[in-house]
Structure 1
């Protein structure tokens, strides 16, 4: 980090990635964004990289340039206010609207993803039919049936898959699935068979993807009953940990000691799991039954 740059906290990185997404959606260049706030292009570069903050006036000018209005505009301004704070805390809890968009930004920007989830196929590995079945199970429980939130979440998941798997940047992707997730009754039986075929298709097509299965009888799982994700960014930024929740706010960890603990937990789960070859063989056997 160069002198004069801010510490790249989760809030600042989320703000930068959000502004990059909004700028690209609007079809604006970094030069045009810089002109909107009367600064050099380097200001936009460091802002989007999460190593600089922006004043409220600059954010307003950028949002005007990108044509952002309504609730989305309010959320970005609130995120900007949080990014300018320097309070010390162990975790960052994202309580602002559309938290899943900022999670997807972090996921797409990462060069390394290590993910463990219990009882469910992780989002990036889900087929469209499986993702729909997951949303339908939650419909009328976590949101009212009359609200469009379920369809919005499904559309988001599908866009998220396109962004992740459509990226041309090299990534290292490691996922641990629990055995019960492979046997779950998710929608109709054909949905689960299709999901197993989807996993095999990803493994055949992606050299950067590794999947391991954690058996039910495995002893010593340090994240039993929970889940975790670690985003790595190579030399560009420090890693960030994430803890998923069935319902509630997204929780991020960027303190080195916390990320190191999550890394130890994932590495332990990875060691306890079947090898990639054994896991692939098990998925194939289940798909053929």
Structure 2
């Protein structure tokens, strides 16, 4: 296992292995001992700055007592991580893509998110999460109470991992006004959701929420949503484009992320200020 250029695939594998190691309650030194390497190799691997041969990856997965499904995914991701050719985009076609998104999200130091039509996942109340996921139950996937509960639990765990991170993350959210008015789960659920947005603004200095009013003109991201992750110099920024259906696609080429940051700055200029947004949220909540 040698020093290698950091790529998104290697970062995804490294974050996955870090999560599996922590779930197994193993130290980095124990992981290093399992493959006969020094601890710094595990540090580089988990930071996405090192490639790992398949036989060493198998030893790590054995050390972490990984399930068969996660083992197959990790080995497949290892194949992608060992490829030398850098790709402009990375499409995550492996099982459990939502978990790797959460790994990336929890490792970021800054998160910038634009969403249209619904409240972003990190800001959702449990009741809103349940109502939103219930809308797709039996349509996007086979109806299953167990699946629904699993998705709700994952969304709430994702929030906890992000909000409880130390040091705290800087987070900026831009929502369309329609996100506040969409009747997800009914009036009571929406009232609680809007109350939660106001509470987050009061409780978290590192978090901002701006609303893009429905009469806004020249929205360069109309009809789509995206999230930008920054890592304080520990890796290049990564962008994630939201899709209603299909595989998760990430952008990590500098030209692409620069474009998306430019779009986010434009949306921030078009949106109401944080104080004006707070006032609009309060007005919609009282009108509802």
Place the TM-score, normalised by the shorter chain, in its bin.
over 0.9
Q: Secondary structure at the match of 2:226?
A: strand
Distance 1:117 1:7 in 2: 32
1:168 deviates by 2.4
1:147 deviates by 6.9
Over the aligned positions, Cα root-mean-square deviation in angstroms equals 1.1
Distance 2:67 2:184 in 1: 38
Q: Secondary structure at the match of 2:135?
A: helix
Residue 188 (1) aligns with residue 186 (2): yes
> Structure 1 residues 144, 228: CA separation in 2 closer, same or farther (over 3 Å shift)?
same
Distance 2:268 2:44 in 1: 35
Counterpart of 2:201? Answer: 203
Distance 1:229 1:5 in 2: 29
Counterpart of 1:260? Answer: 258
5+ long unaligned stretches in structure 2: none
Distance 1:286 1:247 in 2: 30
Distance 1:43 1:275 in 2: 46
Deviations 1:182-234 (A, max 9, x none): 00110121000000011111111101001000011111111110011110001
Counterpart of 2:163? Answer: 165
Q: Secondary structure at the match of 2:161?
A: helix
Counterpart of 1:222? Answer: 220
1:136 deviates by 0.2
Distance 1:20 1:88 in 2: 23
Counterpart of 1:278? Answer: 276
1:131 deviates by 0.6
> Structure 1 residues 147, 85: CA separation in 2 closer, same or farther (over 3 Å shift)?
farther
Deviations 1:136-168 (A, max 9, x none): 000011001147332221111010011111112
5+ long unaligned stretches in structure 1: none
Within 5 Å, which residues of 2 pair with 1:1-289? Answer: 5-146=3-144, 148-289=146-287
Distance 2:39 2:67 in 1: 24
Normalising to structure 2: TM-score of the pair? 0.97
Q: Secondary structure at the match of 1:187?
A: coil
Distance 2:96 2:269 in 1: 35
Normalising to structure 1: TM-score of the pair? 0.97
Distance 1:265 1:146 in 2: 38
Q: What is the number of residues matched between the two proteins?
A: 286
Distance 1:267 1:6 in 2: 33
Q: Secondary structure at the match of 1:148?
A: helix
> Structure 1 residues 39, 14: CA separation in 2 closer, same or farther (over 3 Å shift)?
same
Q: Secondary structure at the match of 2:227?
A: strand
Distance 1:132 1:147 in 2: 11
1:17 deviates by 0.5
Deviates more, 1:150-159 or 1:266-275: 150-159
Distance 1:256 1:26 in 2: 35
Q: Secondary structure at the match of 1:141?
A: coil
Deviations 1:26-79 (A, max 9, x none): 100000000000000000000000011111111110011111021111001100
> Structure 1 residues 64, 112: CA separation in 2 closer, same or farther (over 3 Å shift)?
same
Deviates more, 1:86-95 or 1:37-46: 86-95
Distance 2:168 2:70 in 1: 31
